[in-house]
Amino acid sequence: MNPNEPNPQQILQGDQSPEQPGENELIHAKQAAHSRRAFLFKLSLLANGAVGAVLAVPIVGYLLGPALKKKSFNDSWVGLGPVSGFPEGETRLATFRNPVTTPWDGQTGDVPCWVRRISGTTFQVFAINCAHLGCPVRWFSESKLFLCPCHGGAYYEDGSRASGPPERGLFEYEHRIVGDSLEISAGKMPTPADQASNVQTLTQIAGAGTANGAAGLLNQKSQNLKPRCGSCQG
Amino acid sequence: MPGMKQAGLRIYRWFEDRLGLGKPIIDAAEHDVPASTASWWYVFGSAATVLLVLQVVTGVLLGLVYSPSAGQAWASLEFLDHSVRLGWFLRALHGWGSDFMIAIVLIHLAQVFLFGAYKFPRELTWIVGVFLLLLTLGMAFTGQVLRFDQDAYWGLGIGASILSRVPWIGGSLVNLMLGGPIIAGPTLTRFFALHVFIIPGVLLALVGLHLWMVLRLGINEWPMPGRIVSKTTYARDYQKLTKDTGIAFVPDAAWKDAIFAAAILLAVMACALYFGPFGPTGQPDPTIIRTAPKPDFAFLWIFAVLAYLPPSLETPVLFIAPVLIVGAMLLLPLLSSQGEKHWSRRPVAVLMVAVIAVTLGIFTHLGTYTPWSPIMDAWTSDPIPTAYLEDRTPLERQGALLLQDKQCRNCHSVGGKGGLRGPALDGIATRMTEDQIIRQVLQGGGNMPAYGNALSPSETTALVRFLTTLRSENQPAAIDASRKMVTTEPPNAAPTGTH
């Protein structure tokens, strides 16, 4: 280490010698002034705290804005095209433009889904997102399975869980038929947080998967059966 | 020349008189460190800092072109790769710099842990370091999102799906993360803000704090077995050690840091030049579902853990394990601030590092080839080996066709090709009888879906017949022991048959 050399800065800052002794009055006045200034400083801190708190309200509101929206705010009916575009007994990929988008969303605003036409006007519309971690599931018509590429989740044709890490069946969109067109209620990425779990059926082989389809659907095989429980909507 | 030197010195003095920064900086650079610390083991912290500077510089340069808009980001990356002079190289430097930085930070962490550097009085240095690790990983994840391709898009989906499982507030957290109802424009802009402003700001501030504490408390001395850290004597001992064996950090110790930093930068440049930039993979169009999303290298191990956790344990583990791990790392220096520093006296510490490194390595390795994922096109791309079709009856060959058509290959390999999710089917006939195979195919179980709905009875018969031929000549077929008993026992069993 270098020894302390005379620094020009000390000269610039001036001589900081102690106050002249014996000037009690001056010291007293200085102390009083200090006390007043310290009080004012505390007051200014308080004022800044208050201003900061007021300022924080819009900032926090802005930040939390997206979190405060309700699911129903985003969901609206979207058309997937004419019913005739979905042959009976088949499951097909359909895409729709998300009802809530920004002009700079580009392709990300297009959302795919799987449409299963069981027969006539009986449909099931599944979200593309695996119920495990949201990866896009793929339909294999020959083995009648949805398979997920990420961790190997598998679902039967009715969306119920077949195997792998998912704890539940595929997410289903509420749907309706208006005139000749199939519409679904969509707008939000489906996650376990918003979607009630599909009721697990006793026999997965029978293919009678979702007792509580979002639209209160009963599929082909269970169509003639009574509702499973008293509280379920028939 | 002397004139030049004089002039240079005068200019320096002019600035120094006004700034006053030169002297403290020179003092800090030249401060004495124990000679034992001038070691190749002490170069990782400075290398991480140099890599951070590289990331800042290359990041700013990429920012000149990158467009943080969901509709344009992917195209701007393609533009960088193909239309901007050396844009591909800058992207490659930034990407490889990120991988190297994570690796060096982890090595630095392991080194200071094994050298007991977190003990008194450097507890807070370690705690700040834990946050630096988390921030570095945060940079890696948000950076992967900015490479707005298919992996980024579905990676966000994975993140959102994980967050959605938080009890009660999961849905709100997803909205907060995505900035809207779906992964779209507002999602990318918030990850841009995180990657470019928020995390780097905190990261740089904490790196400053970390360095300040290293200067203020002195670099950790080379640990010696039996040299116990005690709060009462440590400061005196360290001062004496520095006084007795002290050498100036610059240049006596720092030359190793400088050489290593240069080597690391060269390595980053070599990787960037040889391997090129990371992606972007396919465009972030969710309607293109022929994709197998995968996270970047640093997160492959998490991807693998998520495949192997039992479904019922997944949510608790996802939220409790990180709290426990980070909590343990933060509490470590507070709970163990005194005592032995040397690794030879801390076998548990050595064992922990070894076990954690091997675990992370194995999971990462599994993540590189994802044996748990079905291979989506195996049923059309991998043929049945001809040897398995020779001397088979028409029914059995029909079964081989069904094995392909019903996509069994996506999960089961035959002849070394196909998915690894289920067991390989070569030699299946030596392990399962015909009845067992029928049951397994129709009802599934043990992580296999049931195919009862996807197979007609005749198809089932053909498929199972083919499977029962899958064994080599000299391997016996699986037999049902109970059936054998029934078929061979009738004479003896007759008296008791009335029961």
pLDDT given at position A195? 66
Confidence of residue B491 (pLDDT cuts 50, 70, 90): low
With contacts defined as CB-CB under 8 Å, which chain B residues touch A71?
171
Banded model confidence at residue B489, pLDDT cuts 50, 70, 90: low
Question: Which chain B residue lies closest to A161 (C-alpha atoms)?
Answer: B449
Helix (H) or strand (E) holding B239: helix B234-245
Please provide the DSSP assignment of B27-59 as one string: HHHH-EEEGGG-SGGG-HHHHHHHHHHHHHHHH
Instruction: Measure in Å the smallest separation between the Cα of B272 and chain A Cα atoms.
Output: 28
Q: Would you say residue A209 has pLDDT above 50?
A: no
Measure the CA–CA gap between B411 and B375, rounded to whole angstroms: 7
Residue A222 has pLDDT above 70, yes or no: no
Mean pLDDT of B434-451: 91
Closest CA relative to residue B262, chosen from B33, B1, B47: B47
Share of chain A above pLDDT 70, in %: 72
Question: What residue ranges do the domains of chain B occupy?
Answer: 30-369, 378-480
Mean pLDDT of the region A42-68:
94
Contact between chains at B165 and A192 (C-beta distance less than 8 A): yes
With an 8 Å Cβ cutoff, are B72 and A145 in contact? no
**B416 in contact with A at a CB cutoff of 8 Å?**
no
User: Is A20's pLDDT higher than 70?
Assistant: no
Q: Which residue of B has its CA nearest to A143?
A: B406
Structure tokens at A188: 């939000």
CATH class of B378-480: mainly alpha
pLDDT band (50, 70, 90) for residue A17: low
Nearest chain A residue to B410 by CA distance is: A147
Whether B249 shows a pLDDT value over 80: the answer reads: yes
- Taking 60 as the threshold, does the pLDDT of residue A1 lie above it? no
When pLDDT is averaged across residues B412-437 and rounded to a whole number, the result is 91
Residue A189 and residue B181: Cβ atoms within 8 Å? yes
**Chain B residues in contact with A149 (beta carbon < 8 A):** 291-293, 373-374, 376
Q: Which of A111, A142, A165 sits opposite B406 (nearest CB)?
A: A142
Residue A221: pLDDT band by 50, 70, 90 thresholds? very low
- A122-127 vs A110-119, strand pairing mode: antiparallel
pLDDT given for residue A11 in this prediction: 46
Domain ranges of chain A: 25-68, 72-222
Rounded to an integer, the average pLDDT of B334-345 is 94
Instruction: Flag if B289 and A101 touch (Cβ within 8 Å).
Output: no
Report whether pLDDT(A230) > 60: no
Q: Shortest CB distance from B284 goes to which of A107, A163, A167?
A: A107
Mean pLDDT of chain B: 93
For A52, other C-beta atoms within 10 Å of its C-beta total 10
Residues 58-77 of A with CB under 8 A from B: 63-64, 66-69, 71, 74
Structure confidence at residue A75 as a pLDDT band (50, 70, 90): confident
In terms of Cβ atoms closer than 10 Å to its own Cβ (0-12, 13-18, 19+), residue B103 is middle
**Shortest distance, CA A212 to any CA of chain B (angstroms):** 21
User: pLDDT class for A108, splitting at 50, 70, 90?
Assistant: very high
> Over 90: is that where the pLDDT of B229 sits?
yes
pLDDT the model gives residue A18? 53
Q: What is the mean pLDDT of residues B152-161?
A: 94
% of chain B at pLDDT higher than 70:
97
Mind listing the pLDDT tens digit for each residue in A41-50? 999 999 999 9
HEC sequence for chain A:
CCCCCCCHHHHHHCCCCCCCCCCHHHHHHHHHHHHHHHHHHHHHHHHHHHHHHHHHHHHHHHHHHHHHCCHHHHCEEEEEEEHHHCCCCCEEEEEEECCCCCCCCHHHHEEEEEEEEEECCEEEEEECECCCCCCECEEECCCCEEECCCCCCEEECCCCEEECCCCCCCCEEEEEEECCEEEEEECCCCCCCCCCCCCCCCCCCCCCCCCCCCCCCCCHHHCCCCCCCCCCCC
Closest alpha carbon to B318 in B170, B177, B163, B153: B163
At residue B382, the pLDDT reads: 86
Average pLDDT score over residue span A93-116: 93
Asked if A67 and B176 come within 8 Å (Cβ–Cβ), the reply is yes
Q: Which of A63-72, B5-14, B294-303 has the least mean pLDDT?
A: A63-72
- How close A146 gets to chain B, by Cα (Å)? 10
Would you state the torsion angle of the CA atoms of residues B129, B130, B135, B139, taken in this order, to the nearest 10 degrees? 90
Contact A186, A96 (CB under 8 A): yes
Q: Which residues between 428 and 447 in chain B have a beta carbon less than 8 angstroms from any beta carbon of chain A?
A: 442-444, 447
What is the structure's pLDDT at A16? 52
Split at pLDDT 50, 70, 90, the class of B486 is: confident
Interchain proximity A135–B306, CB inside 8 Å: no
Architecture of domain A72-222: 3-layer Sandwich (2.102)
Q: Measured between CB atoms, does A161 come within 8 Å of chain B?
A: no
Q: Does A197 touch chain B (CB under 8 A)?
A: no
Give A130 to chain B, closest Cα distance, Å. Answer: 9
> Between B494 and A104, whose confidence is greater?
A104
Average pLDDT on A8-24 reads 56
pLDDT at A73: 65
The mean per-residue pLDDT over the stretch B236-241 comes to: 94
pLDDT, tens digit, 9 for 90 and up, residues B364-405: 999 999 999 999 988 888 889 888 998 899 999 999 999 999
pLDDT digit string (tens) for B175-207? 999 998 899 999 999 999 999 999 999 999 999
B450 → closest Cβ in A164, A191, A205 = A205
So what's the pLDDT on residue B410?
92
Average pLDDT on B55-62 reads 98
Q: Going by DSSP bridges, is the β-strand pair A110-119/A161-163 parallel, antiparallel, or unpaired? A: unpaired
| pLDDT tier, B482 (very low <50, low <70, confident <90, very high otherwise) | confident
Residue B490: band (very low, low, confident or very high) from pLDDT cuts 50, 70, 90: low
The shortest C-alpha distance from A221 to chain B (Å) reads 12
CB contact (8 A) between residue B314 and residue A165: yes
Give Cα B46 to chain centroid, integer Å. Answer: 23
Q: Is the Cβ of A207 closer than 8 Å to some Cβ of chain B?
A: yes
CB nearest to A166's CB, from B309, B311, B374: B311
What confidence tier does A205 reach under pLDDT thresholds 50, 70, 90? Answer: very low
Neighbour order of strands in the sheet with A122-127 = A76-82, A181-186, A172-178, A122-127, A110-119, A91-97
Which of A150, A167, A201 should be substituted to probe chain B, the one whose Cβ sees the most B Cβ atoms within 10 Å? A150
Within the 329-388 window of chain B, which residues sit less than 8 Å (CB to CB) from chain A?
372-374, 376, 379
Contact B466, B425 (CB under 8 A): no
Is it the case that residue B69 has pLDDT exceeding 70? Answer: yes
pLDDT-based confidence at A223, cuts 50/70/90?
very low
The pLDDT of residue B473 is 82
Q: pLDDT at residue B315 above 70? A: yes
- Looking at residue A191, its pLDDT comes to 87
The answer to whether residue B237 scores a pLDDT higher than 90 is yes
- B-chain residues within 8 Å CB-CB of A144? 453-454
Confidence of residue A63 (pLDDT cuts 50, 70, 90): very high
Q: What is the mean pLDDT of chain A?
A: 79
In this complex, is the C-beta atom of A200 within 8 Å of any C-beta atom belonging to chain B?
Answer: no
Q: What is the pLDDT of residue A214?
A: 37
- Top pLDDT among B207 and A221 is at B207
- Residue A221 contacts B where some CB pair is shorter than 8 Å: no
Q: Is B176 on the interface with A (CB under 8 A)?
A: yes
Instruction: Report ipTM (2 d.p.).
Output: 0.88
Asked whether residue A231 carries a pLDDT value surpassing 90, the answer given is: no
Contact A154 B449 (CB under 8 A): yes
Please judge whether B407 and A145 are an interchain contact, meaning their C-beta atoms are less than 8 angstroms apart. yes
> How far is Cα B436 from Cα B358, in angstroms, rounded to an integer?
38
User: Mutate which of A108, A157, A161, A205 to test chain B, going by most B C-beta atoms within 10 A?
Assistant: A108
pLDDT at B130 over 50: yes
What's the average model confidence in pLDDT over A32-56?
Answer: 96
Q: Is B457 on the interface with A (CB under 8 A)?
A: no
B133 and A CB contact within 8 Å: no
**Does B78 reach chain A within 8 Å, measured CB to CB?**
no
Q: What is the CATH number of domain B30-369?
A: 1.20.810.10
Question: Is the minimum CB–CB distance between A125 and chain B shorter than 8 Å?
Answer: no
Which of A67, A104, A144 comes nearest B453 by C-beta?
A144
Rounded to 10°, the helix B254-275/B44-63 angle is 40
Interface contacts A/B by beta carbons within 8 Å:
220
Query: Is B444 in contact with B450 (CB distance < 8 Å)?
Result: yes
